[in-house]
Amino acid sequence: MTMNGSLLLRGACSTGKQPAAVTDATTARGPPSMPVPQTLNFGDAPFVPAPAGTVTAVQRDEGKENQESGKEEEEEEERDGRGWKRKRKGSCFSLECQRSVRSSIKEQRVHWIEATTLTIHQPETKVWQFYSCRTTPVLKKESRPGPLGTPDVRVCSLPSVRVPKRLDLRAETPLGDLWHHDFWGNQLSSNTSHKSYRPLTVLVFRMNCYLSGGFHPLNFHVVNILLHSGISILLVDVFSVLFGGLQYTSKGRRLNLAPRSSLLAALLFAVHPVHTECVAAVVGCADLLAALFFLLSFLGYCKALRENNRVLRILELGGVALKSQAWCPGCTANKEGTHSTFWVLLSILLGAVAMLCKEQGITVLGLNAVFDILVIGKLNVLELVRKVLHKDRSLENTGVLRTEGLLFRMSLLALGGTGVLYVRWKIMGTGPPAFTEVDNPASFASSMLVRAINYNYYYSLNAWLLLCPWWLCFDWSMGCIPLIKSVGDWRVIALAALWFCLIGLICQALCSEDSHKRRILTLGLGLLIIPFLPASNLFFRVGFVVAERVLYLPSAGYCMLLTFGFGVLSKHTKKKKLIAAFVLGILFINTLRCVIRSGEWRNEEQLFRSALSVCPLNAKVHYNVGKNLADKGNQTAAIRYYREAVRLNPKYVHAMNNLGNILKERNELQEAEELLSLAVQIQPDFAAAWMNLGIVQNSLKRFQAAEQSYRTAIKHRRKYPDCYYNLGRLYADLNRHVDALNAWRNATVLKPEHSLAWNNMIILLDNTGNLAQAEAVGREALELIPNDHSLMFSLANVLGKSQKYKESEALFLKAIKAHPNTASYHGNLAVLYHRWGHLDLAKKHYEISLRLDPMASGTKENYGLLRRKLEQMQKKNI
């Protein structure tokens, strides 16, 4: 401001909270609306500056990381083809306009009314504040309702298993876009896409949002609980087929020949603690939906086999049931019976639907084939091997010719499965996703022997989670499981134990003389192993080491084998009550463990801290604990955990980025610059780190280096409104006002709700005397963000300088209604009334402002002037 009565606008938009922003497997949120702008002065009574926010720049922290991590994302939404430097109506930055701005800057004057005797208060705080974006977690949510923070849906930010971007869940997004995006909302054709193609799951999320009227966590959790309950009930039907086979009454009703076994297996499944992640985490809906359609596909396939089995005819005579079995007469390939092409095709379709919920769902076709061959075809593997060894060409007693439709059904399954997988591969576009060594260390081992040993060790850990689900963790990567590099490692014992048990079960399944035992063991192993194959690293590299969520379907096979084992024990012992008590004990312990684990999922702190005892060597766990502490303001403890994360993983760029941000806030700029420089050296395309490095360099007055860092960040993330905002702040510091305006304009084009950029454009135009353009920009901003009180405040000041008192008053009052306890709002409204001549109202709002902020010297000074003027007027009246 100047001392001659005209003044420069010194207001800035600043927030005390950092907006959420995410890279690496999380979605981003934009900056929140500003609680208070800093200053805004006009006329002969200066506007009093509001307290400066704690954030000095738009800096970006990385969010809590997801074990299913992908590449850094562009978090800003695409805007229907609008150019990112497109001019907006009402604020043209033409050559003529730029000349006008330069001229006004050169003259350094603002057009206002005549000079006055009121004191002009120079605000201490700088105008252009950096805006520092932090990442809020996208953590999976517990089964109880809580805040929906990021999804972004922030469905409790999973350490961060996230939910797809809000853009895909919005009603205005065309449904067709869902078929071109991966699960996290990125274009499938992008090299940084995670390639998790689950459009039907995203569609369910979207329907949930539509029906509930927004991102309400309770609705998401209710859906997950209902899905898990429905799957557990449906498994009673599936287990009855697997345990008892397909037998029907004469009326076509399928019989449950193993009611107790199927019920027990379903109960064991329902309360297994390894399912907590799928049910408690919102994104676990993908696993639940895939499991639902997996089971429906299997039951549909059973319908195709109905007439191929014997028909159990039940005749009642005098209240006594007489049972007889007979092959279905007159069944041919063209009649309903031998095979139902419709049901086979429907089963394949349901398998494809399961795959569109989660990739694991397609494995149901393999289970269908195993069931058809072993149960319907009654293939006797042992007898077949014997005949091959004795060179007996007769296939009698092997069962392979017992069903004439078998080859037809197998052909349909093979063709359908191949077609679905081919389409899925084509959808991936650029090929499989690229994972890093920290995601799956064993897959990057140079030795094939080391890879094989570690893969098998991972299998043994998965088996242990099924047997003893007490050792649960949200993330198993980043050093949680050190590599086995030699056969002398004691952990090789786990591999031997796993294969000893598997080989024993396989031998029993193939060589047992009891056909019932052979069938149950084979089907149980099939249900255990087949759904696990996509996560086995056998066909392609996966982005995790161990993941509880992928055990949801395989655990059904484990429960079936466990139930069969209890049945065998009860037959060979007289202490049947002891076996029953043992079974009830397992059900009770598993239920108790589910309750405990669900409690750990209720909030981020409990979840992350519970992982410290399971995976103390996991850098990501320490990182997430540190991020959670930093969000709560405990920077000292956060620094300790961030440093430990960097120690455990010296290439952990996200931990370096967040640690650098905290150090910057503590004014430890040299170390912050070293950390951020190392982060971008390790990962040159880390846009958030480049932006934060620019902020630190700007604070060190290294402006040229800061500009280069900002431009590098934009190079790697083209749609980066926060970086444009910070670049504009840098230009404002260097008095390159036209460049600052254009940078902020780009920020608002990319993100129309970027309140900070809008506010600073208004401020700069006002400062340079372009009141008409400042007003046009302010009105445009309020059209886009009508409820932003800081924009109302800024525009009200511009209108006041333009002597549009009535309209200015209305905006001030609206801003005060939204934020009634902001001293500067009342102080500036008092200035307006003071200049307008409404002295009583001016006195009222000066007093309110001083009650809210008694230390505001500028308001005190103006209030003193007003009181002297009122006293003079009273003396004249006397």
Structure tokens at 719: 């749609």
Q: Rounded distance, CA 468 to CA 470, Å?
A: 6
Q: What is the pLDDT of residue 261?
A: 93
Q: What is the pLDDT of residue 34?
A: 29
Q: In the beta sheet, which residues pair with residue 313?
A: 324
Of the segments 252-261, 346-355, 386-395, 424-433, which one has the largest average pLDDT value? 346-355
Contact call for residues 375 and 310 (beta carbons, < 8 A): no
Structure tokens at 480: 């949680």
Q: Rounded distance, CA 185 to CA 208, Å?
A: 17
Q: Rounded distance, CA 816 to CA 822, Å?
A: 7
Residue 410 has pLDDT above 70, yes or no: yes
Q: What is the pLDDT of residue 328?
A: 40
Q: What is the pLDDT of residue 512?
A: 79
Q: What is the pLDDT of residue 603?
A: 85
DSSP type of residue 481: S
Band (pLDDT 50/70/90 cuts) for residue 57 is low
Contact call for residues 51 and 124 (beta carbons, < 8 A): no
Q: Is 164 helix (H, G, I), strand (E, B) or coil?
A: coil
pLDDT in tens, 847-870: 999 999 999 888 999 999 999 988
Mean pLDDT over 621-649 rounds to 94
Mean pLDDT over 214-222 rounds to 83
- Range in 58-67, 120-129, 465-474, 803-812 the model is least confident about: 120-129
- Range in 18-32, 265-279, 338-352 the model is least confident about: 18-32
Half-sphere exposure at residue 263, Cβ-oriented, CA atoms within 13 angstroms: 5
More confident residue, 390 or 406: 406
pLDDT in tens, 512-558: 778 888 889 999 999 999 999 999 988 888 888 899 999 999 999 99
Q: Is 187 helix (H, G, I), strand (E, B) or coil?
A: strand
pLDDT in tens, 481-519: 999 988 888 999 999 999 999 999 998 888 877 888 888
pLDDT in tens, 450-468: 999 999 999 999 999 999 9
Band (pLDDT 50/70/90 cuts) for residue 178 is confident
Element (H, E) at 567: helix 554-571
User: What b/e sequence results for 384-401 when a residue is b if at least 16 CB atoms lie within 10 Å of its CB, and e otherwise?
Assistant: beebeeeeeeeeeebbbe
Mean pLDDT over 13-29 rounds to 31
Q: In the beta sheet, which residues pair with residue 181?
A: 187
Q: Is 437 helix (H, G, I), strand (E, B) or coil?
A: coil
Domain ranges of the chain: 217-309+339-390+403-485+500-572
Q: Rounded distance, CA 468 to CA 589, Å?
A: 10
Largest CA distance in the chain: 131
Q: What is the pLDDT of residue 113?
A: 22
Position 46, amino acid: P
Position 625, amino acid: V
* Dihedral-angle region of residue 71 (phi above 0 means left; psi in -120 to 50 means alpha; beta otherwise): beta
